Each structure stands twice: as C-alpha cells, then as structure tokens.
Amino acid sequence: MSDFPNFFLQAPTAQNALDLFKGEWSTRLPDATGLVASTGPVRACEDYRVHWFEKHIPGGYAGKRVLELGPLEAGHSYMLQHAGAAKVVAIEAAARAYLKCLVMKETFALDRVEFRLGDFIPYLKSSTETFDVALASGVVYHQKNPVELLSLLAGRARHLFIWTHYYDAQFMAARQDIGRYFEPQPLPNEVAGFAHHLYRKRYAEALEWKGFCGGGDIDTSWLTKADLLGALQNFGFEIVETWDERKDGQPTNPNGPSILIAARAR
C-alpha cells in the first residue's frame, strides 16, 4: 500500500478516508451524503437490483440474517443496513476492496455488517452458518467454476438473489469488442452430476487497473442462461422470478447480457 499518502495534514474527515483510494472507486455515493468516492454512474448504494429482490422476500430484508458474497465497496451492504437487516456477513477476497469496505463501514457506521477478508468458496465448503437471505450480485460470472458456487449455496439460505452476466453466442458473434475475450470453444464440465459448458473469458487489460472488480485469476467462466437456471433448479432452488435485462431484444448492460434471478429453497 505504498501509494497511500503518508500523512493527512488537514482536520480528520470522512472524505479523507475515501480519498485513500482516490481514482479506484466504482461506487458513486448518494448525493445527500455530500461525500465523493466516484463521480461515475455506478450508484451501488441506491441499486435497483437490491430493491427488486427485496420485493420477493416476505417482510423484505428487515430482521434478516444476510450473506453477501463479494461486497466490493460495500454499496449493497449500506443498503442492507438501511433496510433493517439484523446481521450481514459480507465476504470479500480482494484486499483493496476489503479495505474500501472498512472505510465505508467507518464512514457510515455500518455496525450490523461484518466484513470478512477471504474467499467465499472455501468458506462455503467449511462453514455451517445458515442465513435467511444470500446475495450473489456480480460474482457468478467471475468464478472459474460457477456451478460449484451454486451447488455450495444450496441449503445455506432460504432466499437467494443473483445478478450476473451470461453467455449468449449470438450476441458474442455480433459484438466482437466483447466476444473477442472468450475462448472459441466451450469447455464441458460437471459438478455433482450436473453437466454443463463453461465459456472461458480473459480479463486481459482490465487486470491493470488498481480498482479491478473481477476474480482472483487471469480468466473466468461464464454460463449460458439455460445452464445457469438449470443448475439452480438441479441443486434445490425454485426460480421465483427472473428479469432478463434487455430492451428491443438487445442487452441493456454495456458488458453483455445480464439477468436478475430471485430464487428460494424448495
């Protein structure tokens, strides 16, 4: 962390703490806070996806124990606390993202959120903790073996929310600016008897940014929408509702096709 300022010689403020990672933030804080992390478009503290999922949970987040996978910069953690969650366990593997979460925790007094530094795959393999709700937003498509993650979530939470990109061959063929990062042939894979295909994607130049928001390797694997939904059903989840983010048949997300999934344990 040698690129941190050695000293802040002005009076202590929350903005000072945010500025430790100046130029690295993806999250734009609510305007009402008067604080600036990023001036970009990602309003993770006011995310429509987290609001959408809450409508599919009886009673919403209030009073619930929540498992949050990959909090990144704690934008969703902020929302969960403000929605009344009783306890949030947020697991983040990226060291700089974890430190940004701690800055957010201190800045906004997120006293019902516990940030843990580490990989959630070995956590899910070894822990017996259970939750009312699990959030896996923006993490499935950053896994080397995404179906393994879905299998490990089975039995851990009554309600599951996923937002993820998925592989669409027709889109990738038409959009070589995105499709060129994928290997030309899918890789057959099987997890606990569920056969599917993995579409390998290289992170390439994205790895050079200090605020990189991906996984811990040089590449990752995407699933088709059919395999994604099929895996959830295979491992004991009922699909409550999906929202394929498209307008006039085209993905609305600039990084490729994306889907919101609300599921619950059968």
Calculate the average pLDDT of the chain: 93
HSE of 205, CA atoms in CB hemisphere, 13 A: 2
Centre a 10 Å sphere on the Cβ of residue 213 and count the other Cβ atoms it contains.
15
pLDDT for the residue numbered 1: 41
Report the percent of the chain where pLDDT is more than 70: 94
* Structure-derived torsion over alpha carbons of residues 146, 151, 152, 155, reported in degrees to the nearest 10: 150
Beta strands in 138-226, from DSSP E residues, in sequence order: 157-165, 187-191, 194-202, 219-222
Phi, psi angle pair for 151, to nearest 5°: -65, -35
| Domains of the chain: residue spans and CATH | 46-265 (3.40.50.150)
Q: What is the model's pLDDT at position 2? A: 46
User: What pTM value is reported for the model?
Assistant: 0.93
For residue 160, is pLDDT > 80?
yes
- Report yes or no: 140 and 199 within 8 Å, Cβ to Cβ: no
